[in-house]
Amino acid sequence: MTIERLETFGTETVSVVRVTTSDGAQGIGQISPYNADISSRVFHRQIAPYALGADPEELECLVDEIVNRNLKFPGSYVRRALCGLDTAVWDLRGKEVGAPVCELIGGEPEPLAVYGSSMRRDISPEDEAARLARLQDEHGYEAFKIRVGAVDSWGSDEDAWEGRSEELVPTVRSALAEDTVLFVDANSAYSPSGALELDRTVLAPNGIAHFEEPCPYWKLDWTAAVRDGASTPVAGGEQDCFLEQWMRIVEGPVVDIVQPDVCYLGGLTRARRVADLADEHGLPCRPHAANHSMVLTFTLHLLAAIDNAATYVEYSIEDHWAEGLVEPAPTVENGAVEVPDGPGWGVDIDSEWLESAEYEASTTS
Residues 89 and 108 in one domain: no
Residues 318 and 194 in one domain: yes
**Domain residues for 47?**
3-98+350-363
* Phi, psi angles (nearest 5°) of residue 332: -95, 125
Most distant pair of Cα atoms in the chain: their distance: 64
Q: Which helix (H) or strand (E) holds 65?
A: helix 59-69
Using one digit for the tens of pLDDT, what is the confidence trace for 39-60? 999 999 999 999 999 999 999 9
Using one digit for the tens of pLDDT, what is the confidence trace for 79-101? 999 999 999 999 999 999 999 99
Residues 200 and 260 in one domain: yes
What is the number of structural domains in the chain?
A: 2
Q: Using N-to-C axis directions, what is the helix angle for 294-303 and 268-280, rounded to 10°? A: 40
The mean predicted confidence, pLDDT, of the chain is 97
CA 48 to CA 31: how far, in whole Å? 13
Query: Residue 66 — pLDDT band, cuts 50, 70, 90?
Result: very high
Judge whether 233 lies within some domain.
yes
Report whether 63 contacts 79 (CB < 8 A). Answer: no
Residues 59 and 74 in one domain: yes
Report whether 81 contacts 360 (CB < 8 A). Answer: no
Residues 219 and 246 in one domain: yes
Of 275, 307, 269, which is closest to residue 288 (Cα–Cα)?
275
Q: For the domain that residue 223 is a member of, what is the CATH number?
A: 3.20.20.120
Residues 16 and 53 in one domain: yes
Residues 30 and 68 in one domain: yes
Residue 233 has pLDDT above 90, yes or no: yes
Query: Residue 207 — pLDDT band, cuts 50, 70, 90?
Result: very high
CA 19 to CA 92: how far, in whole Å? 8
Residues 309 and 219 in one domain: yes
Return the pLDDT at 303: 98
Residue 27 has pLDDT above 90, yes or no: yes
Judge whether 270 lies within some domain.
yes
Question: Which residues partner with 113 through β-bridges?
Answer: 336
Judge whether 253 lies within some domain.
yes
Q: Using N-to-C axis directions, what is the helix angle for 268-280 and 59-69, rounded to 10°? A: 100
Strands 143-147, 111-117: pairing is parallel
Residues 161 and 144 in one domain: yes
User: What whole-number percentage of the chain has pLDDT above 70?
Assistant: 100
CA 128 to CA 147: how far, in whole Å? 10
Residues 7 and 153 in one domain: no
- SS3 per-residue string spanning 117-184: ECCCCCCCHHHHHHHHHHHHHHHCCCEEEEECCCCCCCCCCCCCCCCHHHHHHHHHHHHCCCCCEEEE
Output Rg (C-alpha) for the chain, integer angstroms.
20
Fill in the DSSP letter of residue 106: T
Residues 130 and 251 in one domain: yes
- Position 267, amino acid: G
Residues 93 and 231 in one domain: no
Whether the bond into 49 is cis, omega within 30 of 0: no
CA 156 to CA 169: how far, in whole Å? 20
Judge whether 343 lies within some domain.
no
* Sheet with strand 358-363: strands edge to edge: 26-31, 15-21, 3-10, 358-363
- Position 124, amino acid: S
Judge whether 355 lies within some domain.
yes
Return the pLDDT at 321: 82
Strand, coil or helix: what is 159?
A: coil
Q: For the domain that residue 73 is a member of, what is the CATH number?
A: 3.30.390.10
Lowest mean pLDDT among 267-271, 322-326, 328-332: 322-326
Judge whether 344 lies within some domain.
no
Return the pLDDT at 82: 98
Residue 324 has pLDDT above 90, yes or no: no
Report whether 330 contacts 113 (CB < 8 A). Answer: no
Residue 320 has pLDDT above 80, yes or no: no
Mean pLDDT over residues 24-47, rounded? 98
Return the pLDDT at 319: 82
- Position 65, amino acid: E
Strands (E), the chain: 3-10, 15-21, 26-31, 111-117, 143-147, 181-185, 210-212, 234-236, 257-258, 313-316, 326-327, 336-338, 348-349, 358-363
Q: What is the DSSP string of 85-104?
A: HHHHHHHHHHHHHT-BHHHH
Judge whether 281 lies within some domain.
yes
Return the pLDDT at 322: 87
Report whether 114 contacts 316 (CB < 8 A). Answer: no
Report whether 208 contacts 183 (CB < 8 A). Answer: yes
Judge whether 345 lies within some domain.
no
CA 80 to CA 283: how far, in whole Å? 25
